[in-house]
Amino acid sequence: MSEPAVRCTEVRHSFGTTVAVDGVDLAIEPGEVFGLLGPNGAGKTTTIRMITTLLPVSPDRITVFGLDVARRRMAVRRLIGYVPQQLSADGALTGRENVSLFARLFDVPRAQRAAQVREALELVGLENDADRPAGRYSGGMIRRLELAQALVSSPRLLILDEPTIGLDPVARSAVWERISEIRAHTGMTVLVTTHYMDEAEQYCDRVALMHTGKIRALGTPADLEAGLGPQSTLDDVFRTVTGNALDAGGIRDVRAARRTARRLG
């Protein structure tokens, strides 16, 4: 049996007296597209930040392809490509310069750098716009550029935090088409958070629904829908799991999402 791409075992994290993640158990299989769903404040981004080594975690709680996140931080980082919810592209640089910058940050060898930058831009369909300033890109192009930034180091695990937030339906579909093509081309594992249940239903092999720091439901979208009853949708599952309650504790996430949406136009 192969080692999971990501394994979380009784993972917990608190900010002061506020418990953000409360005993999360999770195993993501190599090559699958896994959706981490839930309302703002559910603990999704905190969980991702622990997986990506951006927040501390106790030893033996999280592994990425068998590497302990607490003990092997730098080795884990070399396996991960991460597209955060907040925009990371520099509008003053060209698309090629943005991706080249990330190639240097990820220590892509100088002799391979130009080729890997070119390949990453081709994977996301930006080869013809690579030498235009990113500030002139559309919102969908910016998101594809950030995918290229994450892909330039050839990661085994691609982590996407709200990759289509603020985009119109056409741009959302274009971003997901690229993600699907890249996954088919490379065989990489994809971990994604999204508030769009239609995206999770269409593109994710399995999903986990988080609420108040815990995993409340886990399975394929079809199985979760069938468990709720005939004609049920993933939206229905989401409402059932979360109690259909508005979250009051995720104001920072809401503000960040709105800033991103405004910048994407």
What's residue 242's pLDDT? 86
Q: At what angle do helices 110-123 and 139-151 cross, to 10 degrees?
A: 140
Q: Give the pLDDT of residue 86.
A: 77
Assess if residue 28 is contained within a domain.
yes
* Domain carrying residue 22: 6-264
| Of 197, 195, 130, 145, nearest in space to 175 by CA | 145
Domain CATH code at residue 199: 3.40.50.300
Q: What is the pLDDT of residue 249?
A: 42
Q: Within the chain, what is the greatest distance between any pair of CA atoms?
A: 56
Nearest partner of 98 among 123, 124, 121, 122, judged by Cα? 121
Domain count, the chain: 1
The pTM score is: 0.86
Return d(Cα 162, Cα 54) in angstroms, integer. Answer: 17
Give me the tens of pLDDT residue by residue for the chain, a chain 265 residues long.
Answer: 679 999 999 999 999 999 999 999 999 999 999 999 999 889 999 999 999 999 999 999 999 999 999 999 999 999 999 988 877 789 999 999 999 999 998 889 999 999 999 999 998 999 999 999 999 999 889 989 999 999 999 999 999 998 888 788 888 888 898 889 888 888 999 999 998 999 999 999 999 999 999 999 999 999 999 999 998 999 999 999 887 654 434 445 544 554 554 554 4
pLDDT, position 247: 47
Q: Report yes or no on 35 lying in a domain.
A: yes
- C-alpha closest to that of 11 among 80, 71, 64, 58: 58
- Within a 10 A sphere around the Cβ of 184, how many other Cβ atoms? 9
**Residue 1 placed within a domain:** no
